[in-house]
């Protein structure tokens, strides 16, 4: 029974994601989502109390598993910080610039100013991720691999460097498909720049 419940919930999330991407949050209705998934309104509301709640869960479900797997690459026990950051950076960019996550980010940029929706998504997604990376960077500071600084600031700088080559193209909707070799090259440049800036003299 639990499996069937989870399958229904996922089916609703998948249908809602399609509808939100097709017409946007404002124009989307619970009735459209019901039609897309083939469930009654009663069934839909038994899983999600409102369109805002459904939208939030769509945002989080879209990439949470992939990002959690990415964060698991931050091996605090490894003595090779560059190798750890390279592995993390490549996977981070692979997830971030996948077609699905790009679509979700664009949708979030458009709809995030609705009430506290943007704040909730930021706290659950980017802010949580930045803090996890900050924890790893603090470990590197404690080992003497990096100079002492605010760990969260360094995390923000690292993520900015990783995206630096493509963020403006992404924002203006002119970014083409990216390859694994491009992710690897951009990660290498970003990590080396970051380490040159923050390793002890």
Q: Which pLDDT tens digit goes with each residue over 32-79?
A: 999 999 999 899 999 988 888 888 788 777 667 666 767 789 999 999
On whether residue 20 sits in a domain, the answer given is yes
Average pLDDT over all residues of the chain = 88
**Cα 44 to Cα 20, 23, 73, 145, distances in angstroms:** 15, 19, 36, 51
* Rounded average pLDDT over 74-88: 95
Global pTM? 0.78
Q: Which domain holds residue 69?
A: 62-198
Alpha-carbon dihedral of residues 42, 115, 25, 165, nearest 10 degrees? Answer: -140
| 115 and 45 assigned to the same domain | no
* Rounded average pLDDT over 78-83: 96
| 68 and 143 assigned to the same domain | yes
pLDDT at 106: 81
* Last residue in a domain, options 13, 28, 49: 49
* Rounded average pLDDT over 11-34: 87
Of 31-45, 139-153, 174-188, the range with the lowest mean pLDDT is 31-45
| 35 and 79 assigned to the same domain | no
On whether residue 54 sits in a domain, the answer given is no
| 121 and 41 assigned to the same domain | no
On whether residue 153 sits in a domain, the answer given is yes
pLDDT at 4: 64
Domain CATH for 13: 1.10.10.60
| 125 and 183 assigned to the same domain | yes
In contact, 152 and 130? CB cutoff 8 Å: yes
On whether residue 80 sits in a domain, the answer given is yes
pLDDT at 114: 65
User: How far is residue 200's CA from residue 126's CA, in Å, rounded to a whole number?
Assistant: 28
pLDDT at 110: 74
| 45 and 70 assigned to the same domain | no
User: How far is residue 109's CA from residue 163's CA, in Å, rounded to a whole number?
Assistant: 16
| 71 and 36 assigned to the same domain | no
User: How many folded domains does the chain comprise?
Assistant: 2
């Amino acid at each position: 029974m639990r499996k069937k419940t989870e399958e229904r919930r996922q089916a609703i999330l998948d249908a809602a994601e399609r509808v939100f991407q097709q017409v946007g949050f404002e124009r989307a209705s619970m009735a459209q989502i019901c039609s897309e998934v083939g469930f009654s309104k009663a069934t839909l509301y038994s899983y999600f109390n409102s369109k805002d709640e459904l939208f939030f869960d769509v945002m989080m479900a879209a990439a949470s598993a992939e990002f959690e797997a990415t964060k698991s690459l931050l091996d605090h026990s490894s003595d090779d910080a560059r190798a750890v950051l390279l592995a993390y950076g490549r996977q981070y960019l692979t997830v971030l610039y996948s077609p699905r996550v790009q679509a979700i980010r664009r949708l979030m940029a458009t709809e995030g100013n609705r009430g506290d929706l943007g704040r909730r998504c930021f706290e659950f997604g980017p802010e949580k991720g930045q803090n996890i990376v900050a924890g790893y960077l603090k470990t590197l500071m404690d080992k003497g691999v990096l100079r002492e600084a605010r760990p969260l600031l360094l995390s923000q700088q690292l993520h900015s460097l990783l995206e630096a080559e493509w963020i403006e193209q992404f924002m203006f909707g002119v970014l083409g498909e990216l390859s694994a070799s491009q992710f690897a090259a951009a990660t290498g440049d970003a990590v080396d720049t970051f380490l040159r800036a923050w390793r002890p003299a």
